[in-house]
Amino acid sequence: MMNRILLGVITVIGFFTLAEALTCNSCKVGILGKCLYSSQVACASSEINCYTASAVFNVTGFLSLSSSGCTSNCNNTVGTILGAGYSITKTCCITDLCNGASAVQLSTTAAFSTALLASIWSSYML
């Protein structure tokens, strides 16, 4: 009898834990406001926010990279990559799919160039 009650309590707690997982739109890299490939992801329990981030390079002022997904860090940052200054602005929210995302098809050259920039940039986003 006691084992059944304990098993029932653990099951109910498990359902509430699963129900509380946040779902966010995810975009690993976007360029000029358009996501290369978007999806929806379930956040880890430590990631309590959905975010949308945009990095603008100070030299050009118009070239921007973006990403979105789950995070526990909503701080904006500034820094440099290969001597070029940039600023990252993050917008966070706390409800399912609150960080809208859109996908667009790009040419292979544009996708390759973006992937190259993203590989440098991704280590600075998180």
| Domain-wise residue ranges, the chain | 22-125
pLDDT winner (highest mean) among 4-8, 9-13, 32-36, 58-62: 32-36
CA dihedral 28→33→39→40, nearest 10 degrees, is 100
pLDDT for 53 beyond 90: yes
pLDDT for 70 beyond 90: yes
The confidence score (pLDDT) of residue 17 equals 45
Q: What is the CATH architecture of 22-125? A: Ribbon (2.10)
Mean pLDDT of 45-68: 88
H-helix segments, 20-86? none
Pairwise pLDDT comparison (79 vs 42), residue with the higher score: 42
The confidence score (pLDDT) of residue 122 equals 52
Pairwise pLDDT comparison (125 vs 57), residue with the higher score: 57
The confidence score (pLDDT) of residue 82 equals 81
